[in-house]
Chain A
Amino acid sequence: MINFELSQEQKEIHTMAMKFARQEMIPKASEYDQKSEMPLEILEKAWSLGLVNTCIPTEFGGTGFSTMDSMIITEALAYGCLGMNTALMANDLALLPIVIGGDDVQKKKFLTPFTESYKIAAFCLTEPGNGSDAGGIKTSIKDGGDHWLINGQKMWITNAGYADLFTLYGTIDPELKHKGISAVVIEKGTEGIEIGAAEKKMGHCCSDTRSVTFKDVKIPKENMLGAPGDGWKIAMKTLDHSRPMVAASAVGGAQCSLDYATQYSKERVQFNKPIAAHQAIQFMLADMATKIEAARLLVYKSAWLIDQGLSNTKIASMAKAFASDSFMQVATDAVQIYGGYGYSKEYPVEKLMRDAKLIQIYEGTSQIQRLVIAKEVLK
């Protein structure tokens, strides 16, 4: 009844994605982190090998991955560099609402170009005044007769400075609360889009994060996904897909932290033996490995549920909360195992610890995940 073995094809996907992470991403991760620059060449290469936009269905030019396949890819890319993975994963976050809520004409128009060349997408939900409380967003979408008129400001938008396409959540009427939330697609170059300055961040420094202001932005009527007011439903379904993916990235980062720490603990000698021979270090490694294994199983289960067409809301939130909290702990312990060297930018675990923190914040904070889990438990 239960089978934990990946298919032959999934093993090959894993091998290939890990090879890409090791050969293309890891050697450049520190450099791009320190200069806070998007490594466009690496990202485009990842795209050319089919590692990006895994959510696009085959009918619209995608490769036809299962949700499970995309977990394997995301874990490997995050193993290579969390920041680069954020830049790539943000595409999926922005395209998923189209996959989930768009009609065939919209899918063809907006998704297919992403399979023909490397394009960048941004997902605009968070606002300066509304983060966790996404239902309270204020960006207005007004009916202008033959167009929708958008006004508002979005905050912390990944890929904003490079985006060819924005998926935006706004409201047709704040009084309607969740029922007023609607999702639209806005193409680059539309008049009235103002891109803010790049945020200076703690981690994921090679990804691009900015505020975006929409001032009397007019978009065609056919750019709304579903009907006015369908946005919240689309957003919730999107999260069921995107949370496992973000959780998978935490597993990748944690695995990378553990691998570095394991290696270092065998090499570093103190008190005439490798520190790995000290039981206190061994116990740390044991806990790290156990957390990673458990987190990965939650990720796989939450993906498997989607592939079976079953509801995964609770497990997806468990995966997101557990994997990201575990990553934070594992990365912190990796720094501990490296001692003073772990605190230096010369060694890779310092970056991993900074990168880990964000995973507990975006795509719903660890607290918000617990709200979701509790709500499901108490149902």
Chain B
Amino acid sequence: MNIFVCVKQVPDTETKITPSGDGTFIETSSIKWIMNPYDEFAVEQALLLKAANAGSTVTVLRVGSTQDTEALRTALAMGADEAILVEGQDNLDSYMIAKSLKGAIEKSGKNPDILFTGKQAIDDDCLQVPQLLAQMIDMPSVSVVVGFESEGGKVTLKREVEGGALEVYEVNTPVVVACNKGINTPRYASLPGIMKAKKKPLQNLSLADVGVSGDDRRVKYSNFQLPPEKPPGKKFDAMDEGKQAEIVAEVVQLLRNEAKVI
């Protein structure tokens, strides 16, 4: 079985983010990068599937800059067999990333039987790549997957929907599966795994190699900004017996007209 996993490298959640001078991205020089946490579920699911299907290989794909290859190395250390890196800036839009991944799959010379991704990347939160990629490579896709079973050429997927309900899909492979928290517990990259990962193949491709150019850009970033600081909460003194009715009326008015939550 040819199992593919797409992983993104994102800033560690504890990293302090500052927009870059020209506003087109964030300052990346002092960022600690990690594998996108949802992608860890994707890697784990790929490894579980490999373990259940002797002779399978797990290929990890990533599009991004090379200054740090944390995400791919972690995936290899967890047990993936090979990796392909498409070198590009870290601020490509979803369309360019999906198209690059499609190109990388073609370059791998293998036809995916199943392709795992995280349901979203925690940096730009676009939630688009799995679906765009599925469309481009002509596969069905299911996202926010919290349950996975595979038998023969079929997978049964449980998908979380609003209100905690589950939808169950039975899909023929090949299929793109975008994983959510709850599908599994990602393993640690063991230390022997880290040592072994050094020797696993890592192929480097350029955007040109995968047929992507600046013309493919659909979204141009021009003005990254930090969110405005939260104004301090309002306090009301309702201890004074006589004023309570008045204060309740004021709070309701504010909730309705200012906070717009009721």
Contacts and interface: CB of A to CB of B under 8 A. Distances in A.
Interface string B147-181: 00000000000000000000000000000000000
B192 A63 contact: yes
B194 A13 contact: yes
A20 B188 contact: yes
Contact of A19 (B70, B188, B193, B198): B188
Interface stretch (A47-55, A133-141, A348-356): A47-55
A12 B70 CA distance: 8
A16 interface: yes
Contacts of B70: 12, 15
Interface residues on chain B, size class: 10 to 19
A16 B194 contact: yes
A64 interface: yes
B188 A63 contact: no
B65 to A, nearest CB: 16
A36 B215 CA distance: 64
B190 A48 contact: yes
A146 interface: no
A77 B189 CA distance: 16
A346 interface: no
Interface in A214-266: none
A63 B189 contact: no
Interface string B190-215: 11111100100000000000000000
Nearest to A49: B190
B73 interface: yes
A73 B194 CA distance: 13
Interface string B70-102: 100110010000000000000000000000000
A13 B188 contact: no
Contacts, number: 37
Contacts of B194: 9, 12-13, 16
A20 to B, nearest CB: 6
Most chain A C-beta atoms within 10 Å of own C-beta, residue among B191, B192, B193? B191
Contact of B73 (A12, A17, A49): A12
Contacts of B188: 16, 19-20, 49
Contacts of A12: 70, 73-74, 77, 189, 194
A65 B194 CA distance: 11
Contacts of A73: 191
Contacts of B191: 13, 16-17, 49-51, 63, 65, 73
A50 B198 contact: no
Nearest to B196: A63
A370 B222 CA distance: 61
B93 to A, nearest CB: 29
Contact of A9 (B74, B190, B198): B198
Most chain B C-beta atoms within 10 Å of own C-beta, residue among A8, A17, A19? A8
B193 to A, nearest CB: 8
Interface string A14-50: 0111011000000000000000000000000000111
A192 B26 CA distance: 67
A9 B191 CA distance: 10
A79 to B, nearest CB: 15
A12 B194 CA distance: 7
Contact of B192 (A15, A17, A19, A50): A50
A145 to B, nearest CB: 43
Nearest to A115: B192
A50 B192 CA distance: 6
Contacts of A51: 191
Nearest to A50: B191
Nearest to A15: B70
Contacts of B190: 16, 48-50
A51 B190 CA distance: 8
A51 B194 CA distance: 12
Nearest to A23: B188
Contacts of B74: 12
Give the 7 A-B residue pairs with the shortest CB-CB distance, closest first. Answer: A50-B191, A49-B190, A50-B192, A50-B190, A12-B194, A63-B192, A49-B188
Given A9-B195, A49-B188, 12 more contacts: A9-B194, A9-B198, A12-B70, A12-B73, A13-B191, A13-B194, A16-B188, A16-B191, A17-B191, A48-B190, A50-B193, A65-B191
26 contacts: A8-B73, A9-B194, A9-B198, A12-B70, A12-B73, A12-B74, A12-B194, A13-B191, A15-B70, A16-B188, A16-B189, A16-B190, A16-B191, A17-B191, A19-B188, A20-B188, A49-B188, A49-B190, A49-B191, A50-B190, A50-B191, A50-B192, A50-B193, A63-B192, A64-B195, A73-B191
Interface of B: 70, 73-74, 77, 188-195, 198
